Amino acid sequence: MKRISIKLRVTLWFTLLMLVLGGLALGLLFYGGAQSGLAARRELLTSMVEDSEKEIEAESGTLEIDRDLESFRDGVYLSVYDASGVPLYGMVPRTFDNSTPFGDRQLRTVEGETGSWFVYDQHFEIEGWDTYWVRGVCEAAAVDSTIVRLLRLAAAVLPFYLMLAAASGYLLTRSALRPVRQIVRTAQQISAGNDLSRRIGLGEGKDEIYTLAAEFDRMFARLEAAFENEKQFTSDASHELRTPVAVILSQCEYALARPETTGQAREALEAVAEQAARMAALIGQLLTLTRADSAHRRLMTETVDLSGLAQAAAEQAEEQAAEKGIAVTAEVQPGLTLQGDETMLLRLLINLTENAIRYGRTGGRLTLTLRREGDRIEGCVADDGIGIPPEQQPLVWNRFWQADPSKSGEGAGLGLSMVKWIAQAHGGSVWLESEPGKGSAFYFSLPAAEGPQT
C-alpha cells in the first residue's frame, strides 16, 4: 500500500468501507427479514388453527364444518380430526408424516424425510359432539428459501454495487485531490525549468490545501526575490570588477614592454598579469552564468559544424597537454551538424578538454570522441587521471567545486557548470562516469540537425 498513489489508496479504502457497510446492511436486513418472516408464518399458522373454531359446530349429533373454512392459505395446511385422530376435513402436505402425535397448543418443529415442518395442534370441545383436533402445518424452509433467493439476488447485484462504489470513490478522491495535483505540477515545472516566477494560484479557499498552496506561493515569491538579488549582486560585482582588472592587465603589459623593467620587477609584474588574466576569465564566466540564469544570454543560433569544432578543440588541447606529456586522440565522425551557438559549443568542448588536462595523469592520454546516434550527437571527453569518488560525482556540476582542492589555483571551478548550462540551453544533457585512480569520462548529448549526416 506504500507504493501506490494516495488517490488509488483512498479509492480502495472507500470501496472496502462501502463493501463492509453494504454487507452489514444486507446482513441485518436478511436477518431481520428472516425473523420477521418466521414470526409472520408462525402467527398465520396459529391464527388459522384458532380461528377454525368459528367455522365448526355440531348439529343433531353431527359435526358440521363450514365450507368457508380454508384448508390451505399462504403455505399453511389446515386439517380437522376426531378424538381418535381420524381425518375429517382438510389436507396435509404430501411428504408430511401425519402420524405425528397431537400436542395441544404447542408450536413444534417436526423433522421429516424431506425437511422440517412447523406444526400447531389445538384440542376443541363442542356441545353435542365429542372433542376434535385441528392441526396446522407449514414448511419451515419456506422462509429460508426466500432468504436464499434474496441472497442470490444480492450476489448478482453486489459486483455492480462495488463498481459504483469504486467509481464514486475515485471521482470524489480525484476531485478532492485536484488542488494537490496542481501543487505537484507547479513544483515539477519549477524544478524542471528553474523558473521561480511560477505560482500555484489556487485562488481563494478556506481549507488546509488552499492554505498550503498560498504558503507555497509566498515561499516561492521570497525565494525568487532572494535569487534575483543574488544574481543582481553577482552581475553588478562582475561588472564593477572588470574595469580595475582591465587596468591592472594593461598596466602590467605596459610595464613589461618597457626595456628598463628587469629582474624582480619583471617577475612580479608577470605574476600579477597572470593572476589578473585569471581574474578576468573568472569574471567573464561569472557574467555568462549570471546572464544565463537571468535569461539575458541569447544563443546566436546557426548551423554549426560540430565535427570541425571538435577537431579545433582537440588541436588546442594538444598544445596545453604537451606540457604534461598527455597524448590527445580525436575520434570524430565527420559532417556532424546541429542548430546552435558556435561560440558556446566551442566553449563546451574546450572546458571539457581543459578539465581533462588539468586532472589528467602526467604522461597519460585524453580521448575526444564524437558520433551520431539516431537523431542525437553523442560526445565524450575521457582521461586516465585521478578520477572522482562516487559520492562526489553529483557535485562536479556545482559552481566553484574542485575535484582536487590542491589544484584550486589552476581553475575557478566554473567550467563544468558552464558545460551543463550550454548543453541544456541547446536541448541536450551531460553526465559523468568516473572511477577513482582510473580516470573520468564526461559525456554529452545534443540534438542533431535534421536530415542525413555522414
Give, for all 454 residues of the chain, the pLDDT tens digit: 456 677 777 778 878 888 888 778 777 777 777 677 778 888 888 999 988 888 888 777 777 888 778 888 888 899 999 888 889 888 888 888 888 899 999 889 888 877 788 999 999 888 767 888 999 998 877 666 666 666 777 777 778 877 887 888 778 777 777 777 777 788 777 766 666 777 777 777 667 777 777 877 888 788 777 766 666 656 656 655 666 767 677 777 767 777 766 677 777 767 777 777 767 666 666 666 665 555 445 678 899 999 999 999 999 899 889 989 999 999 999 999 999 989 889 989 998 998 899 889 899 999 999 999 999 999 999 999 988 898 888 888 876 666 555 444 444 456 788 889 889 889 999 999 999 988 999 999 999 987 555 4
Question: CATH 3.30.450 region(s) of the chain?
Answer: 13-146
What DSSP character marks residue 194?
-
The answer to whether 49 touches 135, Cβ cutoff 8 Å, is: yes
Per-residue pLDDT at 261: 65
101 φ, ψ (degrees, to nearest 5): -60, 150
How many other C-beta atoms lie within 10 A of the C-beta of residue 213?
A: 21
Question: CATH 3.30.565.10 region(s) of the chain?
Answer: 301-447
Give CA–CA dist 87/288, Å, rounded.
Answer: 116
Pick the closest to residue 18 from 26, 30, 6 (CA basis): 26
Give CA–CA dist 100/229, Å, rounded.
Answer: 104
The answer to whether 174 touches 7, Cβ cutoff 8 Å, is: yes
Domain 208-293, CATH among 1.10.287.130, 3.40.50.300, 3.40.50.2000, 1.10.10.200: 1.10.287.130
- State the virtual CA torsion across 315, 316, 321, 326 in degrees, nearest 10: -20
Q: What angle do CA 377, 352, 313 make, to 5 degrees?
A: 75
Type of residue found at 372:
R
Give CA–CA dist 102/107, Å, rounded.
Answer: 11
Q: C-alpha cell of 422? A: 550550454
**Which residues neighbour 326 within 8 Å (Cβ) at sequence distance 6 or greater?**
357, 360, 361, 362, 363, 364, 365, 366, 383
Question: CATH 1.10.287.130 region(s) of the chain?
Answer: 208-293
Q: Burial level of 254, CB count in 10 A (0-12/13-18/19+)?
A: exposed
The answer to whether 56 touches 64, Cβ cutoff 8 Å, is: yes
**Which residues neighbour 229 within 8 Å (Cβ) at sequence distance 6 or greater?**
none
Give the fold, CATH level 3, of 301-447: Heat Shock Protein 90 (3.30.565)
Using a cut of 0.75, tell me whether the model's pTM lies above it.
Answer: no
Give the fold, CATH level 3, of 13-146: Beta-Lactamase (3.30.450)
Placement of cell 444486507 in the chain:
26
Give CA–CA dist 426/338, Å, rounded.
Answer: 9
Which H or E run includes 3? none
